Amino acid sequence: MQPRLPQACNRRSALMFAAAAAAACHVRPAFAQVRYPERPISLLVPFGPGGIADLTARAVAEHMAKTLGQPIVVENKPSAGSIVASQAVASAKPDGHTLLLMSNGNAVSVGLFKKLPYDPVKDFAPVTTLGTFDLGLFVPASSRFAALKDVVAFAKANPGKLNIGTIAPGSTQHLSAKMFETVAGIDALVVPYKGSPAVLTALRAGEIDLAFEIVGPMVPQVQAGAVKALAVSSDKRNPALPDVPTVMQAGVAGYNVASWNAIAAPAGTPAHVVEALNRAARDAVAAPAVQEKLGKLGMRLAASTPAELQALLTSEIQRWGAVIRAAKIEPE
C-alpha cells in the first residue's frame, strides 16, 4: 500500500508543476527568435542582373548572410512596375524568409497602373532603406551646351526642339525628365528608348541633345571623354562626380530627384524578425567593403528605421503621382 503524502505536499507539487509549465511556455517564443532564420532567405529583385539595384542587393545580401548565419539567394524577377517580384513577396509566408528589394519603382507604379494586385503600403513590412543614387544629365562630348543654363536657354527660345533621351515611359529616368520640363518651364521632346545602352548610343551619336540616366554606369563614359555630365539630379553633389553641380546649383531651383533602394518583407512578419533583418542590413550598409564597392557606383548608403522607410514610400507615392498626372500619362 502506497503511503499517502500530506495535503500540503500535494499542493506544493502542483504549484511547482504549474510554474514549470508556465516557464516552458515563456521559453518557446524566445527559442523561436533565436532560431531565425531557419533556412536560406530569398531576396527578390524586380530588375535584371547587372544594374545598380541588382549590384546593391548582392553586395548587401552577401554581408547580411554572414550576420544572419544563412545564405541569402538573390532572385531577379524584372517586370514593368516591379509587379512580379512585389506580388510574389506580398503573397509569401510572413516569416522573414522571402524579401523584396523595394525601390522608388514601387511608388511610381501606383500612378502608372489602374489597379495593382497588392497594396504597396499595407501589404509589406518595411525593414530599412539601403541608400539613394542620383540621375545625371548628360550631353555628347561634342555638344554645343557647355552648362545646364545653356540647355534651358535653348529650350525656352526653341520650344519643342530640345530632344531628351530616357529609357521606357514610366521609368524613373523618363519621369525625372518630365519633371525637369515642368520645373525648368520648358517644352522639350522626351524620346523613350528600350534600355540604357540604346540611350547611350543615341547620345554619343548626337541623335539626342540631353540624356537622363543613372550616374553609376555613366561614370566610365564621362571619364573616357565620350559624354559630359552637366548636372546631377539630387540636392547633393555625387561622390562619383564631385565637380559636377546639382540641377539646383546649375540654376533650376526646386528640382530634386533621387532614386532609392530598400528592403521589405511581407506584411505580418513578426517584429523580432524585422528587427533582426534591420540590424543585419545596418551592419552591411556600414561595412567598409560594401561602402567601397557601391560608392564607386555613386550610391549613398544609408539605413533607416522601418517607420522611416514607410514614411518615405508614402511620400514618394504622392510625389510621383503628381508628376505622372502633370505629364498626362494615362494609367494602364
Residue type, 13: S
Question: In whole numbers, what is the pLDDT of the chain averaged over residues?
Answer: 89
Report residue 102 CA to chain centroid gap: 5
What is the Cα–Cα distance from 217 to 162, expressed in whole angstroms?
Answer: 24
CATH 3.40.190.10 fits 135-232, yes or no: yes
b/e 108-131 (16+ beta carbons within 10 angstroms → b): bbbbbeeebebebeebbbbbbbbb
Q: Are 52 and 218 in contact (CB under 8 A)?
A: no
Which residues, 6 or more positions from 158, have their beta carbon under 8 angstroms from its beta carbon? none
Give CB contacts under 8 A, 24+ apart, made by 26-30: none
pLDDT score of 215 more than 70 = yes
What is the Cα–Cα distance from 202 to 195, expressed in whole angstroms?
Answer: 11
* CA distance readout (Å), 178 to 265, 320, 325: 32, 11, 11
Q: Name the pLDDT band for 169 (thresholds 50, 70, 90).
A: confident
Q: Are 43 and 13 in contact (CB under 8 A)?
A: no
Burial of 262 (0-12, 13-18, 19+ CB in 10 A): buried
Residue range 247-251: average pLDDT? 97
Q: Name the pLDDT band for 220 (thresholds 50, 70, 90).
A: very high
Residues of the chain with CATH 3.40.190.150: 41-132+258-326
pLDDT for 34: 53
pLDDT score of 163 more than 60 = yes
User: Up-side HSE of residue 319: CA atoms within 13 Å toward CB?
Assistant: 19
b/e 236-250 (16+ beta carbons within 10 angstroms → b): ebbebbeebbbbbeb
Q: Name the pLDDT band for 79 (thresholds 50, 70, 90).
A: confident
* CA distance readout (Å), 16 to 5, 29, 218: 16, 21, 70
Q: Are 120 and 85 in contact (CB under 8 A)?
A: no
Q: Which residues face 77 on adjacent strands?
A: none
Residue type, 32: A
Q: Name the pLDDT band for 331 (thresholds 50, 70, 90).
A: confident
pLDDT for 208: 97
Residue range 41-57: average pLDDT? 91
Quote the crossing angle between the two packed helices 172-184 and 306-326, to the nearest 10°: 60
**Is pTM beyond 0.75 here?**
yes
What confidence tens digit (pLDDT) does each residue in 97-139 have? 999 999 999 999 999 999 999 999 999 999 999 999 899 999 9
pLDDT for 261: 96
Residue among 97, 52, 93, 94 nearest 71 (CA): 97
Higher pLDDT, 79 or 268: 268
**pLDDT > 70 fraction of the chain, expressed in percent and rounded:** 90
CATH number of the domain located at residue range(s) 41-132+258-326 in this protein: 3.40.190.150
Q: Which grid cell is 103?
A: 525601390
The three-state secondary structure class of 162 is: coil
Report residue 288 CA to chain centroid gap: 20
Residue range 300-326: average pLDDT? 94
Residue among 198, 197, 233, 203 nearest 215 (CA): 233
pLDDT score of 68 more than 50 = yes
Residues of the chain with CATH 3.40.190.10: 135-232
Task: Please tell me whether the peptide bond between 126 and the residue prior to it is cis, using omega within 30 degrees of 0.
Answer: no
